[in-house]
Amino acid sequence: MQFWYKIKIIYIVFTVSIIQVAIMAFAQVKPVKDPETYRKQVNTDSMQKMIEIKAFIPNIIYDLRYSTKNNFTHTKLYKNDDVTFLRLPVAVALQKVEKELNEKGYGLKVFDAYRPYAVTKKMWDLIHDERYVADPSKGSGHNRGLSIDLTIIILKDGTELNMGTGFDNFTDTAHHIFTDLPVMVLQNRNVLKQMMEKYGFKALETEWWHYSWPNDRNYEVLDLDFKKLKKYAH
């Protein structure tokens, strides 16, 4: 009896593993690597277009940390000639945020937006911890041109508002529900959150700097480098 019981358990574990592997293979993202495929997608749906943010919002400030060593991996993760991208509706929404902030004497500073899929894989190989980097099997909002990491600056001198932590601070202090902070910091975070949400972005509970656009058109994961996208951006 015990022998057959063991066989049964082994059989169940084996079957479950096979199913898990099959599900993982099915769920694995297939990034768009070919610029021609991307171009065709844009031709059939112009909302898929990746827009160079600064060309669209000239007074926005870039501090693209992953193109420098000034990031949590201490490694240059990509070369991008100071350009970055978002899908068209996301860029339009961001333009509205910038405009409203400008009227109040503030502006936006971007730490990261589009991230080619290969870069997410590189981050995963370096860190391999889902608390800090996106699991490449799913693909992230950044890979789809839907997510942006940013903060608010004072327009006249470029000073960043105090948000309590820097960008890519992976402690509880960076969480939206963490309220043991000076009132001014909470207010600053709240201004960013309210402005972004007003124009359709969603906050991420664990990172005050990260905002995402809903994946409402099934935007695909892209693995096109910045140079290729720049070619198609105009």
Q: Is 210 in the site for Zn ion (CB under 5 A)?
A: yes
Could you tell me if 222 and 31 are in contact, meaning their C-beta atoms sit under 8 angstroms apart? yes
Q: Is 149 in the site for Zn ion (CB under 5 A)?
A: yes
How far is 159 from 6, CA to CA, in rounded Å?
66
> Of 144 and 210, which has the nearer Cβ to Zn ion?
210
How far is 98 from 81, CA to CA, in rounded Å?
22
Provide the minimum distance between the beta carbon of 208 and Zn ion in the complex, in angstroms, as a whole number: 11
> Of 63 and 149, which has the nearer Cβ to Zn ion?
149
- Which residue's structure tokens are 């910091």? 185
Stretch that binds Zn ion, among 17-25, 116-124, 166-174, 203-211 (CB under 5 A): 203-211
- x-marked contacts with Zn ion along 4-43 as a string, rule CB under 5 A: ----------------------------------------
Provide the minimum distance between the beta carbon of 36 and Zn ion in the complex, in angstroms, as a whole number: 28
Stretch that binds Zn ion, among 12-20, 85-93, 159-167, 207-215 (CB under 5 A): 207-215
Provide the minimum distance between the beta carbon of 71 and Zn ion in the complex, in angstroms, as a whole number: 12
Give the DSSP letter string of 103-125: HTTEEEEEEE----HHHHHHHHH
E strands, 106-217, in order: 106-112, 147-154, 202-204, 207-212
E strands, the chain, in order: 50-52, 61-62, 85-87, 106-112, 147-154, 202-204, 207-212
Q: Is 144 in the site for Zn ion (CB under 5 A)?
A: no
Provide the minimum distance between the beta carbon of 141 and Zn ion in the complex, in angstroms, as a whole number: 7
Provide the minimum distance between the beta carbon of 59 and Zn ion in the complex, in angstroms, as a whole number: 22
Provide the minimum distance between the beta carbon of 4 and Zn ion in the complex, in angstroms, as a whole number: 52
Neighbouring CB atoms inside 10 A of 39's CB total: 13
Select from 170, 126, 123, 167 the least CA-distant residue to 143.
123
With contacts defined by CB under 5 A, how many residues of the chain interact with Zn ion? 2
* Pairing between β-strand 147-154 and β-strand 106-112 as defined by DSSP bridges: antiparallel
φ, ψ of residue 149 in degrees (nearest 5): -110, 125
Stretch that binds Zn ion, among 25-33, 40-48, 93-101, 144-152 (CB under 5 A): 144-152
Stretch that binds Zn ion, among 51-59, 121-129, 187-195, 210-218 (CB under 5 A): 210-218
Q: Is 109 in the site for Zn ion (CB under 5 A)?
A: no
Q: Which residues bind Zn ion (CB under 5 A)?
A: 149, 210
